[in-house]
Amino acid sequence: MRALRAVLLLLAVNACASRAPVEEPALLRAGDFGAGAEQARLKSDVEALAAAHLEDTPLDCGAFDLEQINLEHQPVCHLTREKARQFVRARFESLGYTVIEQEMEGPAWPTSNVIAELKGSTHPDEVVVVGAHYDSFHAGADDNSSGVAAMLEMARLAAGKRFARTIRFVGFDLEELGLVGSTRFVRELPGEEIVASIVFDCIGYKDARPGAQQALPGFPIPNTGDFIAAISNEQSRPRLEELYALGSRLDFVPLRGATSPIDGSGPFSGNLMRSDHAPFWLAGHSALFLTDTANFRNNNYHRDTDVPSTLDYEFLAGVTRLSAAGIAYWAEGPLP
């Protein structure tokens, strides 16, 4: 029977809502916090980040054996990150955060994760992480300026507020070359408890036409690309259920959830391990992966057509509001 469970489990909204894992006053507080996310700010940040990528000098791809790389899927000669990193850092600083650039050397590439933190007032060693990679191919509007913009907007909402637990915002470096920055971030974590994480990768593309959404193996979804997918592993499933409970009441954006079996690293879940949440799962930390499903919906994936005008900013605002409600709940609420 265990083998049969290697198919992803679809969570039904009603089934989760009936468990009522979120108390009403906490839900309303979290909803008020999330509702503050502003669509116009998200749009202008995506535009600024995409412009930064296009102005930037791409990473030297002479170091790659280009014969060995599928350049359509991984256009390594069009990867940029410096100006986007500066943008993230400057924004965190302008919001009043003290910024840490976590610079690390490695066998392949030096990386610098950009970190801003709001210390918890009563449980500072319990940490909620919000992460998004800031390196991109071409303009990288959906992948992943959408996720970076959401993270920055959540940092704006949280700035100067008090939460029981610590909230840490992280711009991950070099996701596109194999989750390099996030892997190093997880490896260097001090002995603290990551009680919840949200990782964004491609969260701004919507196409509600039937047939626009391609099937994801093992993940039963409609064929209209108008929902955000939230993916957990078994360990982080309580966070997914709480996000569902928040989402079904707050109604910011249609949400579809799936739980990947065991640690999520099994043979059926490869597509669900493709972003910066994977190192969290493999190290035993809680993480949810939020995505519009990238190339399963968006034909601009990793192409020079991934530009800001292709995104749906109402959708991106909905995802940001739901996610902000989630982190407000986890940073303050009764985690097990």
Residue 122 CB neighbours (<10 A): 10
* Max CA pair span of the chain: 57
Nearer to Zn ion, 31 or 75 (CB): 75
Closest CB 301 distance from Zn ion, rounded Å: 7
- Structure tokens of 242? 């709480």
The CA distance from 22 to 248, in Å, is: 11
Closest CB 242 distance from Zn ion, rounded Å: 28
Closest CB 305 distance from Zn ion, rounded Å: 14
Q: Map the footprint of Zn ion across residues 185-224, applying CB under 5 A.
A: none
Q: Is-contact 260 272, C-beta < 8 A?
A: yes
Residue nearest to Zn ion (CB): 143
Closest CB 244 distance from Zn ion, rounded Å: 26
| DSSP 8-state class, residue 145 | I
Closest CB 135 distance from Zn ion, rounded Å: 9
Q: Map the footprint of Zn ion across residues 118-147, applying CB under 5 A.
A: 143
Binding-residue total with Zn ion (CB under 5 A): 1
Nearer to Zn ion, 143 or 332 (CB): 143
Helix (H, G, I), strand (E, B), or coil: what is residue 23?
coil
Nearer to Zn ion, 47 or 143 (CB): 143
Q: Is-contact 329 22, C-beta < 8 A?
A: yes
Nearer to Zn ion, 143 or 207 (CB): 143
Nearer to Zn ion, 117 or 143 (CB): 143
Nearer to Zn ion, 143 or 173 (CB): 143
Residue 75's alpha-carbon distances to 22, 68, 234, 283, in angstroms, are 43, 12, 34, 29
Q: Is-contact 133 176, C-beta < 8 A?
A: yes
Residue type, position 121, single letter: S
The sheet with strand 9-10 has its strands ordered as 9-10, 255-260, 228-233, 288-291, 193-200, 123-133, 165-172, 111-118, 99-104
- Structure tokens of 18? 């009936």
Closest CA to 116 of 192, 173, 169, 190: 169
Nearer to Zn ion, 117 or 135 (CB): 135
> Cα 119 from chain centroid?
21
Closest CB 97 distance from Zn ion, rounded Å: 26
Nearer to Zn ion, 123 or 303 (CB): 303
Closest CB 143 distance from Zn ion, rounded Å: 4
The CA distance from 217 to 267, in Å, is: 11
Q: Map the footprint of Zn ion across residues 250-289, applying CB under 5 A.
A: none
Residue 137 CB neighbours (<10 A): 23
The pattern of x and - marking residues 140 through 179 that bind Zn ion according to CB under 5 A reads ---x------------------------------------
Closest CB 146 distance from Zn ion, rounded Å: 11
Residue type, position 204, single letter: G
Residues that bind Zn ion (CB under 5 A): 143
